[in-house]
Amino acid sequence: MKILEVTLDEDAATLKRLDKALSHCAQDYSRARLQALIQQGNVQVNGAVCTNPSAKIQPGDAVILQEPPPIESTPQPEKIDLDIVYEDDDMLVINKPAGMVVHPGAGNHDGTLVNALLYHCRDSLSGIGGVLRPGIVHRLDKDTTGLMVVAKHDRAHQGLADQLQDRSLSRLYTALVLKVPIPIKGYVEGSIGRDPRNRQKMAMNVKNGKAAKTFYHVQETFGEACSLVSCKLESGRTHQIRVHMNALGNPLIGDPLYGPQPTAVQSKLKQAGCDMGVVNAALNFPRQALHARAIRFIHPITGEEHQYDAALPDDLSDLITSLRASISG
């Protein structure tokens, strides 16, 4: 159960209503969510349960918000094809396609990687991730492609999670970004947390953000229009590469949340001499151009070093091929 305790200051008290004051103090919650929590009896004011969202408050009032744990439904096994790069009795390495959500959540109750794993692995998945995330050691965004590790039992899960924590589990990504980063090799560092103005997005240097660092290195340029960049994570925050590259001034092509304006993409590609077919291909690329291309780790049971690579998916490979031909031509 998540608990938030606050003493209302003058700024919060000027809002007069309990729900508005809590919204001021707890920006991770929408006002509608806070109103529901109040009405469900999950908020106390000065030690007494208050179920009225419009209750009057005063400076110095002690407010406690207790968010109950979510009620988890049990995902069902589904026969979904998986691109399995490696598998043994302890773990798997999966090459995830674009469009596949990793675990069930709001609006995605089936068709996820977890549903596929439950069918493929039957009863052999780690329980550390809970009902909704069995076996899931780390995740990729829905439309990010590439390599993930999955644990079949708790000992393997803990071993892989420890490597994530101490950074001995290494992940390399390939991103196609607008323009050419300056310098061409370096890092972006800045905490990442939920954007208080848009709950679907993450943002840098916000309240309660977590430390994040991304190393990058330009691998190939397409004039001054785009570049292919290798990224390595020192941390693993939600949308980290997408947020950090955007902060650098080089948003990912196709990114629906942080991506470049269409006019900027069109202008840069035209300046580089690209024909309209390539311009339209970049403008209409249906997802963030990001691929988890390599992963290296120590097997959590045998102690052997493993390294795997995954070729670029066809959609991204085709766009890059078109860019090369258009620029060189």
Active site residues per annotation:
141
SS (H, E, C) the chain: CEEEEEECCHHHHCCCEHHHHHHHHCCCCCHHHHHHHHHCCCEEECCEECCCCCCECCCCCEEEEEECCCCCCCCCCCCCCCCEEEECCCEEEEEECCCCCCCCECCECCCCHHHHHHHHHCCCCCCCCCCCCCCECCCCCCCCEEEEEEECCHHHHHHHHHHHHHCCCEEEEEEEEECCCCCCEEEEECCEEECCCCCCCEEECCCCCECCEEEEEEEEEECCCEEEEEEEECCCCCCHHHHHHHHHCCCECCCCCCCCCHHHHHHHHHHCCCCHHHHHHHHCCCCCCEEEEEEEEECCCCCCEEEEECCCCHHHHHHHHHHHHHHHC
- The amino acid at residue 9 is D
Exposed e or buried b per residue across 236-259, where buried means at least 16 C-beta atoms within 10 angstroms of its C-beta: ebebbbbbbbbbbebbbbbbebbb
- The amino acid at residue 329 is G
The tally of CA atoms less than 13 A away on the side-chain side of residue 78 is 16
